[in-house]
Amino acid sequence: MLLAEDSDPDVYAVQWQYRKEYGARGTAPSARLLTRGRSSLLRLSAKGGSKAHIVCSIDCDPTGSYVVAAGTWKEIVVSGIESIAESDEVQATSQLGVAGDRPHRDRHEGPLQVTTNSVRLVTPSRLSSVRWVPGTCHVVAGDYDGTLTVWDLTEEKAILEGEEHSGKKIWSVACCRRNKGLIASASNDGTVCLWKSGSDCAVSRCIVPHGAAACDVAFCNSNEYLLGIGSNDGCVYVHDMRYGGGFVHILGTPGSYRAAAYAKFMGDSQIVSMHVDSSLKLWSLGPELCIPEPLREYRGHANNKQFVGLSVREDNVIACGSECGNVFTYYPAWSKPLASAAHTDRTRTRLRMGNEKRKYSALRQPPSEMACTPLATCVAWRDVDGKEPLLLGGGSDGAISMFSLLSNGDEEAWCQSL
């Protein structure tokens, strides 16, 4: 049951409280997402006007200091997280130069240093996924042409290019935290390839059954041999690299659910998957090969067509984007959202919607507010020991937003610390 919606357009927090669905667990925790910053440094100018490009993927570096983003504008952008918290949308837009300008970057010995203007690496194709390689100043990206590329941020150049997906789009790339030289890529050609640092040829290949596309791939953080694979046949496949190209678990029945756009591990015994029927599903990995039904299903966000992102925190709090323009968080034990917040400033969305309506005659239906609202297309947790957990979200407006997930009791203490 929806309790309250904050009137502040920068918060749009939705608080939830539920009846005792799970007996001794009691009511669901009450929390809210507070907007900490918003940056539109990814908005590029195009042919005499401004055009927002979609942020398809976002990730944090292992220190939690920088964010890397990629999408349809054919660039990889690296920026300091603090610059997002300090930036303003109007100021950030005014800082952009014309196409081809190279932003200033401080160079120091040791870890990568990035100024507010960010680092930009031009790529030959649109990008669908980007990840930070643990323990390095490298990022790995997969593009629409089926090429996996590893970039050195200190040298600002590509150091590895692999073409093992027959020119088919790479939907997802992943890096193993426990084996830092291991990279995986999932492609529209129905294969998942494993790569080793320094080699431009895949060392292993896994084929998804029934000719289905591999939409997502994820390593298990507690077991370096396990891979989770989301597929457009609606199933999630779990592959153990020690046992060849087969699968140790098949979650779901082909065709019984809509495409599994994302699959992320929750520990080593559970997987949460995101399907394009506006649902998340939690699966428990038992001894069986085939597990037809999920343990729990989560609903509240909107996802019927687009890829909107999925991320799981170390304490198992789930985050996802939505086609309604909000980012959502879920608590594992409860099927409804824990909290939600708007990716973009709804006040500016309403102003833009009003301008669009003036262009329509009485015989044509003006666009709705939802049609004018940018989608929340990707999410990532900053989950680093010793630093505040933050939720980063990218959108179809080319902007990055940053949120804090706070319980209602913690909000006053947080505001006093500012």
Nearest CA among 148, 143, 214 for reference residue 182: 148
Of 109-113, 150-154, 206-210, minimum mean pLDDT range: 109-113
- What is the distance between the terminal CA atoms of the chain, rounded to a whole angstrom? 32
260-266 β-sheet, strand order: 260-266, 270-275, 279-284, 296-298
The reported pLDDT for the residue numbered 42 is 53
Residue 57 has pLDDT above 50, yes or no: yes
Residue 252 main-chain phi, psi, to 5 deg: 95, 170
Local confidence band at 302 (pLDDT 50, 70, 90 cut-offs): very high
Residue 112 has pLDDT above 80, yes or no: no
**What whole-number distance in Å separates Cα of residue 311 and Cα of residue 65?**
18
Local confidence band at 408 (pLDDT 50, 70, 90 cut-offs): low
- Average pLDDT, whole number, for the chain? 78
Local confidence band at 198 (pLDDT 50, 70, 90 cut-offs): confident
Q: How far does CA 318 lie from the centroid of its chain?
A: 11
Nearest CA among 161, 166, 169 for reference residue 145: 169
The reported pLDDT for the residue numbered 310 is 97
> What Å distances lie between residue 39 and 43, 146, 324, CA to CA?
9, 29, 20
Residue 411 has pLDDT above 50, yes or no: no
Per-residue pLDDT of 282-295, as tens digits, reads 999 999 999 999 99
Local confidence band at 117 (pLDDT 50, 70, 90 cut-offs): low
Output DSSP code: residue 322: B
Strand partners, 386: none
Residue 114 has pLDDT above 60, yes or no: no
Residue with the bigger pLDDT between 113 and 325: it is 325
The reported pLDDT for the residue numbered 135 is 87
Per-residue pLDDT of 160-192, as tens digits, reads 999 999 999 999 999 999 888 899 999 999 999
Residue 28 has pLDDT above 70, yes or no: no
Local confidence band at 58 (pLDDT 50, 70, 90 cut-offs): very high
Residue 4 has pLDDT above 60, yes or no: no
Contacts of 214 (CB under 8 A, 6+ apart): 171, 172, 186, 187, 188, 190, 191, 192, 208, 229, 230, 231
The reported pLDDT for the residue numbered 31 is 81
Per-residue pLDDT of 222-272, as tens digits, reads 898 999 999 999 999 999 998 887 899 999 999 999 999 999 999 889 999
The reported pLDDT for the residue numbered 118 is 74
Of 60-69, 105-114, 223-232, 296-305, minimum mean pLDDT range: 105-114
